[in-house]
């Protein structure tokens, strides 16, 4: 019996009619003429100049891979998913051949709206910041080459792509395809865990059986998301753990977070001087140059932060204190519910008080606070089909590993609140007594900030 999506060129089995593009690690990505047409547009080529992991390369030197490479990997995963799910009559009854082609194109274009350092900037949740998915609409505008290629080569409108990326409609097919692109077991996560792990030189994100997991994919009982058969249970457990360890050891590594928080605090400081319309259209080297030049020309204290992260000598702030659900949970809870400007104000209050306590000058940006963003990661909720009793059950009900990790919110386990400071200031702080005085000072800062507007400065 012929596969229901066999007529889609990218899924055709004849190797004579499809070229390949090779990406790490030894991955042959089907490269049809119409895929090439999308990739060759200026809108897609800009992704060559947007790194995937932003500031992680300051800690993991190999983490310089780009969203261009990642997008090709996600597109490749979409083909694997469609080939597997095309065997499920439930999926085929919901997702037409045209819908499947839209998903393929959307997978390739899912990061089209990203600008350099997009996630650190978005995590600040400032009112001026558009989400990168919404920003994608500009690069898919009717006059762009990208939109024209979609229309003429694929027979797809830009609005169909945006529906999968952002979610305008609520049809069963739209919800199901969005879950494939952004859900517990999605094609994005399936790529970045492996790719980030490879480029960072760590094993954590690669140690799950992605092929076994993909081969177990089916549609859930509601027809609006993915589930797995019991054959994929172990692979799913391994993916949950891989994601957990990648967050603890890479994405939220303390030095990575130091660089990220330095960048974010400098960005907030320089925000009134920046032209965001121009900034978000820059390539990464140009954006870095703009931030450094703006800080220097304005004689801003943010220059210490931008030079420490991007200058000729790396000079990251050092970890002073750390709070979590296991250590001073009250401070952790109170800080993680604050807005980024409020957290910045807390840090400035602490710096102001440190001047008196230490009896020496302390710059108002010499100490900064890193707290998790208000939004949370997608929870790993997926159902498992048991052929023995003919029903779906949540993975966490049948897996002690997943259940144990799900008892506490994922974010609360892997994302800590941290205080970072210059090396000199950290040494001075650690020389002070009695123990716990900094915690008390931080509590005072939270109370003080809560009694003022989130933009108030104690200086």
**pLDDT tens track for 331-384:** 999 999 899 999 999 999 999 999 999 999 999 999 999 999 888 787 788 999
Q: Does residue 104 sit in the same domain as residue 186?
A: yes
Q: pLDDT band for position 458 (50/70/90)? A: very low
Give the rounded distance of the alpha carbon of 74 from its chain centre: 14
**pLDDT tens track for 199-211:** 999 999 998 999 9
**pLDDT tens track for 56-93:** 999 999 999 999 999 999 999 999 999 999 999 999 99
> For the residues 259-276, what does the mean pLDDT come to?
97
Q: Residue 167: what pLDDT? A: 82
Is pLDDT of 457 > 60? no
Give me the half-sphere count of Cα atoms (radius 13 Å) on the Cβ side of residue 336. Answer: 23
Q: What is the dihedral of CA 12, 68, 249, 364, to 10 degrees?
A: -160
* Beta-carbon contacts of residue 80 (< 8 Å; ≥ 6 apart): 214
> Which two structure tokens, joined as six digits, stand for 265?
């605090």
Contact 50, 114 (CB under 8 A): yes
Q: Which of 156, 19, 33, 12 is nearest to 83 (CA)?
A: 12
Q: Which of 315, 268, 274 is nearest to 294 (CA)?
A: 274
Q: Does residue 151 sit in the same domain as residue 267?
A: no
Cα–Cα distance for residue pair 382/423, rounded to 1 Å? 45
Q: Residue 459: what pLDDT? A: 41
The reply to whether 165 falls in a domain is yes
Total count of domains within the chain = 2
Q: Residue 12: what pLDDT? A: 86
β-strand partners of 23? 27
Judge if the upstream peptide bond of residue 25 is cis by omega within 30 degrees of 0. Answer: yes
> For the residues 426-447, what does the mean pLDDT come to?
93
Q: Does residue 136 sit in the same domain as residue 234?
A: yes
Is pLDDT of 186 > 90? yes
The interaxial angle of helices 437-450 and 329-336, nearest 10 deg, is: 30
Q: pLDDT band for position 156 (50/70/90)? A: very high
Is pLDDT of 147 > 90? yes
> Which residue would you say has higher pLDDT here, 220 or 168?
220
Q: Residue 435: what pLDDT? A: 82
Residue ending a domain, among 278, 298, 315, is 315
Burial profile 18-27: b = 16 or more Cβ within 10 angstroms, e = fewer: beeeebeeeb
Q: Which of 360, 386, 444, 377 is nearest to 411 (CA)?
A: 377
Percent pLDDT > 70 in the chain is 97
Is pLDDT of 323 > 60? yes
> Which two structure tokens, joined as six digits, stand for 97?
């051949």
Q: Does residue 15 sit in the same domain as residue 153?
A: yes
**pLDDT tens track for 15-61:** 556 789 999 888 899 999 999 999 999 999 999 999 999 999 999 99
Tell me the average pLDDT of the chain: 92
Judge if the upstream peptide bond of residue 74 is cis by omega within 30 degrees of 0. Answer: no
Q: Residue 17: what pLDDT? A: 61
The reply to whether 52 falls in a domain is yes
For residue 118, report the phi and psi dihedrals to the nearest 5 degrees: -60, -50
Q: pLDDT band for position 277 (50/70/90)? A: confident
Q: Does residue 264 sit in the same domain as residue 289?
A: yes
Full domain range(s) for residue 278: 253-315
**pLDDT tens track for 243-256:** 999 999 999 999 99
Q: Does residue 159 sit in the same domain as residue 13?
A: yes
Beta carbons within 10 angstroms of residue 297's beta carbon: 10
The reply to whether 275 falls in a domain is yes
> Which residue would you say has higher pLDDT here, 407 or 289?
289
Q: Does residue 142 sit in the same domain as residue 118?
A: yes
The 3-state DSSP class for residue 186 equals coil
The reply to whether 2 falls in a domain is no
Q: Does residue 39 sit in the same domain as residue 99?
A: yes
Q: Does residue 140 sit in the same domain as residue 163?
A: yes
Q: Does residue 165 sit in the same domain as residue 296?
A: no
Q: pLDDT band for position 456 (50/70/90)? A: very low
Cα–Cα distance for residue pair 320/65, rounded to 1 Å? 31
Residue ending a domain, among 315, 338, 353, is 315
Q: Which of 115, 95, 50 is nearest to 280 (CA)?
A: 115
Residue ending a domain, among 239, 268, 301, is 239
β-strand partners of 51? 66
């Amino acid at each position: 019996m012929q596969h229901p999506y066999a007529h889609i060129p990218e899924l055709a089995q004849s190797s004579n009619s499809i070229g390949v593009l090779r990406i790490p690690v030894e991955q042959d990505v089907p490269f049809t003429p119409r895929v090439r047409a999308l990739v060759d547009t200026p809108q897609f080529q800009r992704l060559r100049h947007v790194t995937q992991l932003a500031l992680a390369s300051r800690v993991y030197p190999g983490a310089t891979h780009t969203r261009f490479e990642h997008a090709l990997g996600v597109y490749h995963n979409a083909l694997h998913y469609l080939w597997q799910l095309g065997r499920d009559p439930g999926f085929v009854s919901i997702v037409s051949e045209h819908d499947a082609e839209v998903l393929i194109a959307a997978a390739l274009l899912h990061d089209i709206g990203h600008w350099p350092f997009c996630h650190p900037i978005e995590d600040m949740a400032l009112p001026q910041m558009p989400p990168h998915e919404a920003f994608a609409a500009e690069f898919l505008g009717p006059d762009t080459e990208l939109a024209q290629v979609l229309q003429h080569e694929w027979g797809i409108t830009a609005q169909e792509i945006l529906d999968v990326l952002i979610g305008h409609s609520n049809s069963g097919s739209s919800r199901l395809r969005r879950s494939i692109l952004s859900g517990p077991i999605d094609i994005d996560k399936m790529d970045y865990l492996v790719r980030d792990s490879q480029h960072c030189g760590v094993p954590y994100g690669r140690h799950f059986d992605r092929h076994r997991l993909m081969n177990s994919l089916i549609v859930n009982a509601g027809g609006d998301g993915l589930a797995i058969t019991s054959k994929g249970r172990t692979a799913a457990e391994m993916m949950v753990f891989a994601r957990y360890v990648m967050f603890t050891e890479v994405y939220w590594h303390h030095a990575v977070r130091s660089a990220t928080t330095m960048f974010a605090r400098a960005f907030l400081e320089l925000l009134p001087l920046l032209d965001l319309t121009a900034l978000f259209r820059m390539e990464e080297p140009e954006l870095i140059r703009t931030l450094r030049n703006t800080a220097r020309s304005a004689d801003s204290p943010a220059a210490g932060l931008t030079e420490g992260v991007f200058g000729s000598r790396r000079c990251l702030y050092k970890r002073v204190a750390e709070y979590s659900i296991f250590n001073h949970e009250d401070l952790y809870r109170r800080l993680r519910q604050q807005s980024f400007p409020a957290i910045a104000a807390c840090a400035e209050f602490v710096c102001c008080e440190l001047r008196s306590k230490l009896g020496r000058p302390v710059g108002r940006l010499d100490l900064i606070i890193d707290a998790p963003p208000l939004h949370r990661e997608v929870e790993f909720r997926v159902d498992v089909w048991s052929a023995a009793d003919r029903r779906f059950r949540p993975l966490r009900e049948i897996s002690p590993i997943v259940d144990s990790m799900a008892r506490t919110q994922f974010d609360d386990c892997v994302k800590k609140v941290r205080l970072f400071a210059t090396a000199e200031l950290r040494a001075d702080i650690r020389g002070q007594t009695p123990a716990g005085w900094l915690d008390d000072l931080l509590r005072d800062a939270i109370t003080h900030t809560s009694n003022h507007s989130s933009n108030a400065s104690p200086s």
